[in-house]
Each structure stands twice: as C-alpha cells, then as structure tokens.
Amino acid sequence: MKQIESLHTIFSDTAEIEVMESKRNTLTMENNSTHSAISRIGFIGNYLPRQCGIATFTTDLCEAIASEFSEATCIALPVNDIEAGYAYPSRVRFELKEKDIDSYRRAADFLNINNVDLVCLQHEYGIYGGPAGSHILALLRELRMPVVTTFHTVLKDPNPTQRRVLQEVAALSDRVVVMSERGVEFLQEVYRVAPEKIDMIPHGIPDVPFVDPSFHKDLFGVEGKMVLLSFGLLSANKGIEDVIAALPAIVAQYPNVVYLVVGATHPNVLRNEGETYRLSLQWLARDKGMEEHVVFYNRFVSLEELIEFISAADIYITPYLNAAQITSGTLAYTLGAGKAVISTPYWYAEEMLAEERGVLVPFHDPAQLAEQVIDLLDNESKRHAIRKRAYMFGRAMIWPQVARRYMESFERARAERRHFAPSGFAVKSLDKRPSELPPLKLDHLHRMTDDTGILQHAGFTVPNYAEGYTIDDNARALIVATLLEELGTGNVASELASRYMAFVWYGFNTETGRFRNFMDYQRRWLEESGSDDSHGRTLWALGTVLGRSNNHALQSMAGSVFERALPAILNTTSPRSWAFAVIGIHEYLRRFSGDSMANQIRNELAERLLTIYQKTRSDKWRWYEEGLTYCNAVLPQAMLMCGQWIPNQTMTEAGLESLKWLADLQRADTSDGHFVPIGSNGFYRQDGERARFDQQPVEAQTMISACLEAYRSTGDECWRKEARRAFEWFLGRNDLNLTVYDPTTGGCRDGLHPDRPNENQGAESTLAFLQGWLELRLAENTLLSVEIKSQ
C-alpha cells in the first residue's frame, strides 16, 4: 500500500485528520447509491485517446457520471481533427468531422432518433469547424432535448464572431457551466447571459491521498532530490523557458533540484512546427549549464502515471505567459493533490491560489520565480501549510463531487426546458434545411495532374498530352487546392497546391513582369507573355493563397511572385483581367489589409470597372461592355467586393444592379426557372441574338461566386438561392435535363451542346465544378453556422 504522509507533520489537529478521512470514505459509500431520472446522456467534445485537455476532461466527466449514476447510459460523440480518426472506446457512438458541417447535422439526427434525454456539450472555440468554431451551431439548432454546455474559454475581449458564436451557443443551451467565478462574471458582463442560467462547477480532479513526495521519486530516478514539475501538452505559450532560465539561481542554493517537464508536444504544434519549441528548451538548458537538472518526458502520460508524477513533486510550477485563461486542468490536478504551487497570475491561477493556497509570480520573470522557489525550499513549514490549504480546498473538486454537481445541473435543465420539444423525431422539410451537396470526389483532379501541373484537356476522361498545360488552368487549380486546405483536407490539399504553385512560379517571366500561359508536354513555354486574362487570373490564385492558406512555404513563394507581378495588371486592357485581379487583391487584403500598393491598384482597377459600367449601361443593357462573353459574373463580383471593402456605395449599387440583370437574363422562361448561361457559339452582343449553346461550366461557377458575394454584401437570401440555382446546372437542372458533373469520376463534362453533353472532362470544367462546390460548402460553413436562429 502507498504510505500516506504523516499527516501530523502538516495537520496539527488529529480530529481534522479523522474528519478528512471520514469524509472521503463517506463520499465513496454515498456515491454507490446515487440515482437520477435522466437515463441517457450524450457527451459532445474531444475524447481520449485524442491528445488534448478537452479530450481528457470530456472522458473523465463522462466516466465519472457513468460511475456515479449507474442507471444512466452515457454515450460520447467526439470531434475528429484528422481523417483517420482515433481508436476510441466502445462508449463512442458517433464521430464528427471537424470541418464537415454535414457531420454536425447528422450527429443531431443521431441524437434525436436515439432517445437521448440530455446533451452535455464541451465548448472550446478551437475544436469545432467554421469561424470561431461555429459549426457546432448547426448541431445545436437541430437538437430536440435539453443541452448543458461547459465553456472552457470565455474571452474578456472577443472579436465579433467569437462573441456572436458564444452568445448563440449560450442561447441554445438550457444551462451553461463555467469553472471559475471569473467565467461567471464574463458571461454576464461581456455576453449578457442571464445569471440564473449559469452554474459554477469546479474542474474535476482525481481523488488521491495526501502522500509524501519521497514515496514516488524512485519511480523516476530522482530519489533524494527536490523535484520541480510542469506538465501538459507542450507549446510555446507554456513559458517553460522561464523556469529553465530561473534554474541557475535555484541550483546555486539547492544543487539537488531537478525540473521534470512532462508531456508530449501538442499535436497541432507537432504537425505545423515539429519539435522546434522542445528543442529550443533543450538548447536553453545546455546554454545555462542545466542539462543535468532538466528531464523531459516526451509522451502523453496516462492518468495513473500522471498521478505518480504529481505525487513525486515538491513544487509544481505553471509559468504560463497569457493572463486570459479561465481554467487549467493541470493546475486543478496539482492543487487538489496538495502540492505547493507557484504560478504566473493568469485568471484561473489568481482564483485557485487565493487565500495562500499557492504563490503567484509576475509573467516572464525568471528572477522572481527563482526567488519564490528558493523561499519555499527554505521554509518547509510554509510549503506544508500551502499544501494543506490546497488539499482541503480540492476536496470539493474530486470527480464524484463534480459528477453530482453536473447531474444537478442536468436535472435543472430538464425541469426548466425553455421551449417545447415534441416527442419523436421530425424530419425537416427542404425549405427548412440546406440542400445537400454531392460527395466531394477528387479522382479526376488527380488523374489530370502530373509532376508538372494540371493538363489542359482530356479525351473523355483520359488526359490529352498533346494539348499540354496552361497557367490559366494551374491558377484555377491552385485556387481549388487552397479552398480544399480551408475545408480541412490536409495533406491532399498541400500536395496539390505545391505542384500548382510550382507551375505558377515557373510561369512568371521576370523580364516582362508577366506570366507565360501555354506550355507543351515537353515543358517548353510557347510564348513569352500570356493573355491579360491569364495574368489577372493568376493574380487571383496567388492572392487566394496569401489570404487563405496557412502553409508558410506556399505563402512565401506566392508573396514573392504576387508582389512582382501585381504592377503589370495596370497595363492590361481587358475588364476581366481587372476583375480577376481585383478578386485576388481582395483575397490578399484579407490578411494584409495595410498594403498600400495593393490598395492603390485595387482602387484604380475598381474605378476603371465603374467607369466602363457607367459609360455602357442603359435601362435595357445593364452591363460593362457591348457584349456578354465568358466568365461574365466576375465583373459584378469585383464591383461588389470593392463596394463593400473600399467602401463605395456607388460600386455596390452597380454590382448588385448588373448581377441582378445577368441573373434574370440567365433564367429559363419555364416553371422551374433553371440556369441558362450565355452560349459560347456567338455569345450575346447588345441588340444581337443571344447564343443558347454551347453552355460552359465556367459560367455556372462564376455565377455561384458572384451570388455568394452578393449575399455576403447584402444578407439577402435570394442571392443564396441564385447561387444554388447556378450550381444545380451541373447536376442536371438545365436545358437538357442531363447531368454535367460525372459522379463516377469526380470530373465534369466540358459543357452542353444543343443535343448532348460534351463528354470530354477537361481541367477548366472539372475545376469549375470543384470551385463551385467548395465555395458553396465554405460559404455555408461561414455564413449559415453563425446565423442567429430566428424562430
């Protein structure tokens, strides 16, 4: 058996010892007979074996409630951030895909039809897809049972999207839980959550005995040493470097000190940065001559191992660098285990370590940290008094107690159900639920892409080598790959984007400042400068990478080319090249809004577009040119972007007027009013005859993009419907009632002839479909998931 530390050395009152031990035993006996009327609970949040604090908390809470309330069935619905998912235990019944909003709706259906009595949601902005984790709203809006949400982060100064998302999560929840008084304060003052709706329940901790640290030290080879400990998933905001910087002063007084840093590198950090931070800490320890006093345990430890590490510690240190943290599982665990804690004054630490339950030191102050460590090592009685106060305080935080508190909140939520939820499962009608998109299939995109880039044409579904490559298509492909990255397809997007980016980079002619366009299959350029439109479209692609991608290598390469290629757009004469470039500049300005050159060029191109519109426009012909040709909708799209972001109301009005005119023109005079793009066999000249065929996929794609931009600009629901109408052209809602998209290959046919589809599946057509699909999906993720429910 473990040797419990002689409590008489710390607790002077023998009766107090007996009360503590009696309380632990009583709780254990009482917990075996706990009951609740709630029989089936669904837990949503990350779940072990995924490595993160939310996963640990959700798993522990779920298991604690299942243990305390044996009649309740607890099921878990975790969120996967990787395609392969995780090897979950049997309690997991449904898995959500972080960036797939449809999976959230499917999860709601699953919960509704499986007679779940209550949902317990763990909320953290970063674990759900969409802006500020807004995908979770798509799930919450569909649920028909009470919801109790635990907020793990409550920001004091949220951005507008963060504020809006948290407010709606709170509105859709019957009760909300926070783990600190600061969290209660912020919910009321910042987010206007009603105080009677809020429960303050402490972070749960394992129930461990008050042990002598020396008992476990031999497990880690540190017997006879004074052990400092920090643990948790490693990332640069943890401040471990400050402890290492403090060690020389500590070791000078106590040569037997060893600092244990326990925990794997955070998976997200590992994916994006590798072990750079951990290596920097190891180098710092060597530079300080402290390599013999610092031990890294680079793995995700089990709960049993973690308790042993905590038990072996004489002092626990949380040197976090940011005050804005309203909870910390690591601090809760060590406080409840009766450890002497030294921490920086982040919000949760200020609250937990008040009343001399620990010691606070300033942020990023190794000298003060060293001074406080030495003081606690010098003063054993002070250190033990802190331990006593911490351990006593933590008795209310053990998981059995916390599980009971949560069940009380669940019962209140059920009793106070704020809106009527009829029994059974009601399927929503189409007008109440967004239309489904076909599954994303990239087979043909991969087929058309080789080591050079994407090939221009195909004979049926076979790549046509004789036609070679164009920068036009590789720019389109780069946009699609960047949108795929934003959707969360991981390595697939990165590999494709790198290939297309390499083609674009190679296509830039440094002597002319322009892009070449056509390349044969032998990788020989066929011209020194491409068309105006190809130059503008390539700027669009580069701007999209710069504004949306998080791949630093792609950003660096795109930034270099974008800066050198941008000035040449002012020498072009094609309105479409101006529009393509304007869209690209706006994508770029999403991230780099202070770039004065980009703003100046955007403003110049916007004035040109507005001027030609005002010059050409009439009541019967509300357009920018004397004829409609190809990619028509990019012109009003560019105007709308400029109108919104310069801002310029005249430009907004011109964009909306011209787009509405184009939408009406491209609507069939039939009962279904399907999309009919301008035909490429003659196009449409003012006062001339409009060509009905051939109908090109790129016209549907550009119409989707422009209508979504109009919706973002106005919030008018009609524009989302117009975008969907244009997309349905791909799926067979067209003049021939034949599908243009090929679901068997993931490719898209090259258009509609008067009597049949063009069966070739070239790059432009396939990319047009994919871009339209991705823009609709991303727009739905961005816009629908943060839309305040109006019911």
Query: Which band of pLDDT confidence, cut at 50, 70 and 90, is reported for residue 272?
Result: confident
Residue 30 has pLDDT above 60, yes or no: no
- Comparing 11-15, 276-280, 553-557, 569-573, the range with the smallest average pLDDT is 11-15
Q: What is the pLDDT of residue 785?
A: 44
What is the three-class DSSP state of 294? Answer: strand
CA distance linking residue 726 with residue 697, whole number of Å: 10
Structure tokens at 551: 């791949």
Please identify which residue in the block is written with the tokens 């991303």: 778
612: left (phi over 0), alpha (psi -120 to 50) or beta: alpha
pLDDT digits (tens, 9 = 90+) for 488-547: 777 889 999 999 999 999 999 999 999 999 999 999 999 999 999 999 999 999 999 999
CA distance linking residue 86 with residue 100, whole number of Å: 17
Query: Which band of pLDDT confidence, cut at 50, 70 and 90, is reported for residue 419?
Result: very low
CA distance linking residue 419 with residue 195, whole number of Å: 19
CA distance linking residue 296 with residue 314, whole number of Å: 17
Q: Return the C-alpha torsion angle 127, 131, 135, 136, nearest 10.
A: 60
Q: With a threshold of 0.75, does the pTM exceed it? A: no
Q: What is the pLDDT of residue 433?
A: 53
Residue 726 has pLDDT above 80, yes or no: yes
Question: Which residue spans within 612-679 are E strands per DSSP?
Answer: 627-628
Better-scored residue on pLDDT, 156 or 417: 156
Q: What is the pLDDT of residue 420?
A: 41
Residue 754: how many other CB atoms lie within 10 Å: 12
Q: What is the DSSP string of 475-501?
A: HHHHHHHHHHHHHT-THHHHHHHHHHH
Query: Which band of pLDDT confidence, cut at 50, 70 and 90, is reported for residue 232?
Result: confident
Contact 395, 20 (CB under 8 A): yes
Q: What is the mean pLDDT of residues 16-41?
A: 58
- Comparing 322-336, 337-351, 728-742, 773-787, the range with the smallest average pLDDT is 773-787
Q: Are strands 518-519 and 469-470 parallel, antiparallel or unpaired?
A: antiparallel
Structure tokens at 727: 């997309």
Better-scored residue on pLDDT, 784 or 328: 328
Q: What percent of the chain stands above pLDDT 70?
A: 92
Q: What is the pLDDT of residue 489?
A: 78
Contact 406, 176 (CB under 8 A): no
∠ CA 595-599-605 to the nearest 5 degrees?
150
Q: What is the pLDDT of residue 491?
A: 82
Residue 36 has pLDDT above 80, yes or no: no
Secondary structure of 102-141 as H, E, C letters: HHHHHHHHHHHHCCCCEEEEEECHHHCCCHHHCCHHHHHC
Q: What is the pLDDT of residue 13?
A: 44
Find the length of the chain.
Answer: 791
Q: Return the C-alpha torsion angle 442, 443, 445, 449, nearest 10.
A: 130
Q: Are strands 96-97 and 79-80 parallel, antiparallel or unpaired?
A: parallel
Q: What is the DSSP string of 260-272?
A: EEESPBPHHHHHH
Contact 3, 215 (CB under 8 A): yes
Q: What is the pLDDT of residue 782?
A: 65
Query: Mean pLDDT in the chain?
Result: 91
Q: Are strands 257-262 and 294-297 parallel, antiparallel or unpaired?
A: parallel
Residue 707: closest CA among 720, 689, 697? 720
Residue 214 has pLDDT above 90, yes or no: no
- Strand (E) or helix (H) holding 170: helix 160-172
Residue 12 has pLDDT above 50, yes or no: no
Angle formed by the axes of helices 303-312 and 329-336, to 10°? Answer: 60
CA distance linking residue 616 with residue 43, whole number of Å: 60
Contact 294, 227 (CB under 8 A): no
pLDDT digits (tens, 9 = 90+) for 443-485: 999 999 999 999 999 999 999 999 999 999 999 999 999 999 9
**What's the burial of 67, exposed, middle or buried (CB within 10 Å: 0-12/13-18/19+)?**
middle
Question: How far is residue 415 from each of residues 405, 626, 751, measured CA to CA in Å?
Answer: 15, 67, 58
DSSP symbol at 289: T
CA distance linking residue 538 with residue 483, whole number of Å: 15
For 459, phi then psi, to 5°, come to -95, 110
Residue 434 has pLDDT above 80, yes or no: no
Residue 566: closest CA among 516, 528, 515, 520? 515
pLDDT digits (tens, 9 = 90+) for 309-342: 899 999 999 999 999 889 999 999 999 999 999 9
- Comparing 26-30, 455-459, 754-758, the range with the smallest average pLDDT is 26-30
Looking from the CA of 500 toward its CB, the CA atoms found within 13 Å total 32
Q: What is the mean pLDDT of residues 291-313?
A: 89
Query: Which band of pLDDT confidence, cut at 50, 70 and 90, is reported for residue 267?
Result: confident
Q: What is the pLDDT of residue 35?
A: 66
Q: What percent of the chain stands above pLDDT 90?
A: 79
Q: What is the pLDDT of residue 34?
A: 62
Question: How far is residue 70 from each of residues 31, 33, 201, 319, 397, measured CA to CA in Å?
Answer: 10, 9, 21, 40, 21
